[in-house]
Each structure stands twice: as C-alpha cells, then as structure tokens.
C-alpha cells in the first residue's frame, strides 16, 4: 500500500467515524489531485474542471457508505471520478482522445502495469532536452500551472508555453500513429 493510499484510507475511516476535521482534509486533498486530473482530460482547456471536482467530491460524500474498508480507497474514488468525467463528456457529445483508464495515475501506483507505464513514459520523455522534459513533467504530470513551472525552471511564461508546445509536438511526431500525425519534424529548443 502506498503512503498516499494509506493516508487517504485513514482519513476516510476517521471521517466515517465522525471526525469532521479528517473529512475536510480528505476532501481538500482529493480536490488537489482531481483538479489537474480533470484539467488534462478536458477538451476546453479545463474550464469545467472545477465543476467536475465539486461533482466528484459531492458524489464521494453521498456514496461514502458504499466504500468497503477492506478495499482500496483510491480505486473507489478513481471510479467515481472516471464516471463523472465520462458523464461530462457524454453531455457535451464528445469522445475522449486518450484512454480514461490512464486516470489510475491520479492517486498512486497500484499495479505492476503502473510501474511499466511510468518506465515507458520515462523512456519517451528521455528523448527531450532535460529542461524541456522537466517542464513537461511538472505541468502535464504533476499538475503545476505553466506559470509555476516557468518560475521553477527559470523560464518566462511565454518561453515555457513555447517549450511545452515544442516538446509535446516532438513527442506526438515521434509516437503518434502514422495516419494521426499532425506535424512534421520537431523544433529544437
């Protein structure tokens, strides 16, 4: 069991036992993980992310009695978040452009496949220059804003946006299916 899973599970159990402070901490921490998760998966740049966070937290609150303490808390919460995202996309008449199953990275590593996925992602990102790779990791994987990542790595916000775009374009050109490629060779940074 990962530290995050253990922490969330303990907070959930205390919340179910009536500890209002633990429940508040749990919902706050979950919200912090849900925001970047939804933002990265929305077609509109994440303008509906906060609504989805709130819908998910309300559903977790309403369905708390359905959680089995002998099971993973993060898996249960992930299922609720995934359903909220799918419902939202269906209401918009949209289809996800990448598998929603990737959402398992929302909370913690639970399986061998997660470790393999991280290793594959690491190999893919290793094709990029170190500064560009760290910028993409911070924004796309850790959920930092572009401004936060830019400051962290000594970029202006504009330069960070350009670097992110170029890095993602490079990865897309390298790994997209041949018929799905949208751009040519990568721009050097």
What does the block give as tokens for 184?
Answer: 């040519």
pLDDT above 90 (res 131): no
CA distance 130 to 150: 14
Please say whether the dihedral angle defined by the alpha carbons of residues 141, 94, 100 and 13, taken in this order, is positive or negative.
Answer: positive
CA distance 134 to 126: 10
pLDDT above 70 (res 118): no
Model confidence band, residue 124 (pLDDT cutoffs 50, 70, 90): confident
Bin 46: left if φ > 0, else alpha if -120 < ψ < 50, else beta.
Answer: left
Over residues 53-87, the pLDDT tens digits come to 999 999 999 999 888 888 888 888 988 988 888 88
List, in order, residues 6 or more apart from 14 with CB less than 8 Å away.
22, 23
CA distance 10 to 23: 10
Q: Give which of 129, 80, 131 is closest to 106, Cα–Cα.
A: 80
Report the mean per-residue pLDDT for the chain: 78
Asked if 20 and 26 count as a contact pair (C-beta separation under 8 A), the reply is no
Over residues 10-35, the pLDDT tens digits come to 999 999 999 999 999 999 999 888 88
CA distance 136 to 88: 26
Taken in order of first residue, the domains within the chain and their CATH numbers are: 3-106 (1.10.1740.10), 112-180 (1.10.10.10)
pTM summary value: 0.50
Asked if 163 and 135 count as a contact pair (C-beta separation under 8 A), the reply is yes
CA distance 124 to 175: 9
């Amino acid at each position: 069991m990962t530290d995050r899973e253990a922490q969330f599970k303990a907070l959930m159990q205390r919340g179910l036992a009536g500890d209002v402070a633990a429940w508040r901490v749990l919902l706050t921490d979950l919200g912090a993980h849900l925001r970047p998760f939804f933002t990265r998966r929305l077609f509109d740049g994440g303008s509906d992310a906060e609504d989805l966070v709130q819908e998910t937290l309300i559903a977790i609150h309403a369905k708390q009695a359905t959680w089995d303490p002998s099971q993973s808390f993060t898996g249960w919460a992930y299922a609720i978040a995934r359903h909220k995202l799918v419902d939202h996309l269906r209401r918009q008449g949209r289809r996800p452009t990448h598998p929603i199953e990737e959402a398992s990275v929302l909370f913690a590593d639970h399986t061998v496949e997660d470790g393999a996925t991280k290793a594959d992602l690491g190999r893919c990102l290793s094709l990029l220059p170190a500064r560009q790779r760290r910028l993409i990791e911070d924004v796309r994987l850790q959920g930092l804003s572009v401004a936060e990542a830019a400051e962290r790595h000594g970029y202006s916000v504009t330069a960070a946006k350009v670097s992110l775009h170029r890095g993602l374009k490079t990865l897309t050109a390298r790994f997209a299916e041949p018929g799905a490629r949208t751009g040519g060779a990568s721009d050097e940074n």
